[in-house]
Amino acid sequence: MDLIKQNTQTKIFKSILIIFLGSILLAISAKIKIPFYPVPMTMQTFVVLSFGVCFGYKIGLATVGLYLVEGIIGLPVFSNSPERGVGLVYFAGPTMGYLIGFLFACFFASYIKLEDNYFIIFIKLILSVSVIYILGVLWLGTLLGWDKPIVQLGVKPFLLAEIFKIILLTLLTKKIIKLRRFI
């Protein structure tokens, strides 16, 4: 019985450590801007989808959730904070839909399986990342008004970078899923 209790405690500790370190990795991925056309690219969506693929939806959602809470309480973890504000004011701004979309994208990405072929993985990743942009556009349109060119503002500049990240993650996914055995 003690061995079962010890294994459970070890598993809980590992999960908490992964969630905490994952939120730090997500914050770092938000801050590093890679030169790309037409706008600089961050690796946030790549990391969010990777969490779902590697850790499954429970740890993935807890990690993204912790990251969002860190930002809401005022830690400068979001992409353009503290330059454009911090806390709930920043969170409730133009990027809120995208940030909430991270949770859904992570959840959907967790359904990618080792048995999936690369085409299926690619499609599942496209669908997962699309949720981020759908929620982002819905919030952006609500906030800024639907008379503005919302898709041109909130999606089009990021398409090339997203396709690049999805292709990269598609190629790495089978290796990432195999990491689950060691976690």
* Alpha carbon distance 51, 21 (integer Å): 11
Distances (CA, A) of 11 to 55, 64, 66: 13, 19, 19
- Give buried/exposed letters for 95-126 (b at 16+ CB in 10 A, else e): bbbbbbbbbbbbbbbbebeeebeeeebbebbe
User: What pTM did the predictor assign?
Assistant: 0.92
- pLDDT at position 26 is 98
Compute the chain's Rg from CA coordinates. 17
CB 92 within 8 A of CB 46: no
Angle between helices 159-178 and 44-72 (to 10 degrees): 90
Low-confidence ranges of the chain (pLDDT < 70): 1, 38, 183
- pLDDT at position 37 is 73
Q: Average pLDDT over the chain, rounded to whole?
A: 93
- pLDDT at position 65 is 98
Q: Could you give the domains of the chain? A: 2-182 (1.10.1760.20)
- pLDDT at position 181 is 72
| Strands (E) located in the chain | none
